[in-house]
Amino acid sequence: MADTMEQVTIRKVAWRLLPFIFLLYFWCLIDRVNLAYAALTMNTDLGLTATMYSLGASIFFLGYVTFEVPSNLILERYGARLWIARIMITWGLVSTGMAFITGMYSFLTLRLLLGLAEAGFFPGMVLYLTFWFPRAYRARVIAALMLAIPFNGIIGAPVATSLMQIEAWGLRSWQWLFIIEGVPSILLGIAVLFFMTDRPGKAHWLAPEQRDWLEQTLSQERDELEAVHGTMSVWRALIEPRVLALCLIYIGFGTISYGIGYFLPQIIKGIGLSVLATGFVAAIPATIGAIGMVVVGWYSDRSADRRWSCGIAMMVAAAGVAWMGWTGSIWFVLVPASVMAFALEASRPLFWALPSMFLSRSAAAAGIALINSVGNLGGIIGPVAVGWAKDATQSFAGGLYFIAIVTALAAVLVVVTGPRHVTVREAIG
């Protein structure tokens, strides 16, 4: 009977929450990385060099990093519904405003404001999932959330370059891209107010016995976790060595994700493709990445040791980036780009399953936010390295080699310092 209650409840929660959360994160990524496709013509229109562009791409993370931890603590205390709605509406307004930048200074200003507006969204979503899903399901549901990353490449890239065929009413193609993709974020933020439920206890769409089972199961898991690792305060979580190690590891994720993400369209366009064709070709590595995330997301809760699985995947991703640097802008670059995408996306759900192996309650809110906050400094390191290398050498290779080294170091670190519990059940047993 208990198994039947578990299956029915988890299935109902998953169908209610995951599609909507996926859509929110998908649109978050659309608004964050459509800059990579706008840059195909925007940089020329505004006179931006590769270094100026990389500074604009990176300054987003200064605002983002500053407010990550406070944002997640506010969400944990006052609820996801109001706070996620606030985040989405404000970032939608700023993202739409990107259509009206006129040069480097307005570009940098709005990118900084966009980071401030969006701060806390992703760690808030990871934390929100821990309110609803027992630990045995978390790697899979995090994988479901993070499928938005490769799907953003599969769908977002062709859509972005298709929208950039629009030239009307005195606006350039990149301006239409920001407007058309920015407004839905505002509408989705309003929808959050009506659709999102803060906690299982408020879920009137669950039967009373389902609410009781879910709340009891999650409470029991928190108690067992704290019996093993002790009760951790917010401040202790911020200086916990395992949290700090995960912060350093996630810098590797940020470096490769944004260093590649903001420049891959330019690398592909260098093959000799049109703007429209670039978006469709860029979807190929993203599709391979989605396959990696689905396969590993299903496997990860059954794996013997997430540290080794994550570390190996990251090392393969590092090799793929180095291979891209060696290959250059020719058609064959799609092969190493696809290898990199498969391994990188495979490693994400494995990594984000690690914090909940030793963090709970407010400590989880603070720890997850700090990991994402510090790790996103890689969003500064990666694009700046690639942009500077391109301007200095007229080649992306040097920047790609640098990203490969940072990612490889992160791979070693996750194996050496990651939480050592073999499985969730063993961790609490």
Cα(91)–Cα(95) distance, rounded to whole angstroms? 6
**Residue 429 pLDDT class (50, 70, 90 cuts):** very low
Termini Cα distance of the chain:
23
Cα(231)–Cα(222) distance, rounded to whole angstroms? 10
Burial group, residue 329, by CB count within 10 angstroms (0-12, 13-18, 19+): middle
Alpha-carbon dihedral angle through residues 196, 93, 76, 146, given to the nearest 10 degrees? 70
What's the pLDDT tens digit per position in 142-185?
Answer: 878 888 888 887 888 788 888 888 888 888 989 999 999 899 99
Query: Which pLDDT score is estimated for 424?
Result: 37
What's the pLDDT tens digit per position in 15-30?
Answer: 999 999 999 999 888 8
Query: Which pLDDT score is estimated for 423?
Result: 42
Token look-up 């949290």 returns 243
Choose between 123 and 2: higher pLDDT. Answer: 123
| Range in 90-94, 223-227, 252-256 with the lowest mean pLDDT | 223-227
Query: Which pLDDT score is estimated for 266?
Result: 85
Report whether 162 contacts 380 (CB < 8 A).
Answer: no
Query: Which pLDDT score is estimated for 256?
Result: 93
Calculate mean pLDDT across residues 340-349: 89
Long-range contacts of 107-111 (CB under 8 A, 24+ apart): 107/46, 107/48, 107/52, 107/56, 108/55, 108/56, 108/59, 111/35, 111/56, 111/57, 111/59, 111/60
What's the pLDDT tens digit per position in 369-416?
Answer: 788 888 888 888 888 888 888 888 888 888 999 999 999 999 999 888
Strand partners, 168: 171
Going 235 to 240 to 245 to 246, the CA torsion angle's sign is negative
Radius of gyration of the chain (CA): 21
What's the pLDDT tens digit per position in 85-114?
Answer: 999 999 999 999 999 998 889 999 999 999
Q: Decide if pLDDT at 1 tops 50.
A: no
